[in-house]
Structure 1
Amino acid sequence: MEFYKNAFGFVQKFLTPEKDYGEINSGTTTIAFANTELGNSNFKKGFSESTLNDKPFGIELAFTTSTVEKLMQNAVKNGAVLLEKTVTKPWGQEVGYLRDLNGFIIEICTPIQTSE
């Protein structure tokens, strides 16, 4: 959670006294975090733990901003690993990819402009 607070400026919403579960606000969405021990207690058959040593899972968190490069640089300064440099997609959207401290993919992008 500290990484997401420091790298992206999100605000902590909740943290258990044991510090094994917490939530942050990222705009209108709450992102929840559980430590490995709590995760193992929640899933009887266990789960696959994400690490920076393995290929990332095929799922991402996407955060939109008008300052993609600035946010990417701040995230890297706070421990993120650059996965793919920022590119401009054919539809005009700027997109870059990072991995967080646990190896999860984070997409940093400008909002998609619609014609409505």
Structure 2
Amino acid sequence: MASNLSPAFAYTVVYVRDVAKSVAFYTSAFGYNVRRLDQSQKWAELDSGPTTIAFTPLHQRETDALTGEVHLPDSKGERNPVEICFDYADVDGAYRRAVDNGAVPVSAPETKNWGQKVGYVRDMDGIVVRLGSYVNEPNKTA
């Protein structure tokens, strides 16, 4: 019998060159606390609410054999097929903090036509990180 329950979105795993450096960057640039960094430094998790942000090295025995190696963009003109998005009450402050702590500026925060304020940076592995204001759902009428 099939379940009527939707699965919970539990993890986003980010493949990086250096797990410890990435975790240090994400804690200083975006304000997260480290939940776990294993002694081998091949796995780390941030305290990020109900969905965990985890980091692991680019090359993993478990997944390389199935799908091949993970490759980061070769140039600044390329980007990863995934974007990480964080919501903040103060997008301008979050953007300044990220850049002051080593994030590469992509585009400064601006209010989009849908009403959300959004800015973009890149991390040390070229991953695009969107810093946005909270989006409220429009009032629904019956």
Count, aligned residues:
114
Higher-Rg structure is 2
Task: Name segments (4+ residues, structure 1) moved above 6 Å.
Answer: none
Q: CA deviation at 1:83?
A: 0.9
Q: CA deviation at 1:54?
A: 4.9
Unmatched segments (≥5 aa) in structure 1: none
Distance 1:106 1:52 in 2: 17
Distance 1:68 1:52 in 2: 27
Which residue is 1:3 aligned to? 25
Higher RCO (CA-CA < 8 Å; seq separation 6+): 1
Paired residues of 1:86 and 1:97 also in contact (CA < 8 A)? yes
Which residue is 2:46 aligned to? 24
Question: What TM-score comes out, normalization by structure 1 length?
Answer: 0.88
Q: CA RMSD in A?
A: 1.7
> Which aligned pairs between 1:13-92 and structure 2 lie closer than 5 A?
13-36=35-58, 39-42=59-62, 43-44=64-65, 45-50=68-73, 53-92=76-115
User: More displaced, 48-57 or 18-27?
Assistant: 48-57
Question: What TM-score comes out, normalization by structure 2 length?
Answer: 0.73
Which residue is 1:98 aligned to? 121
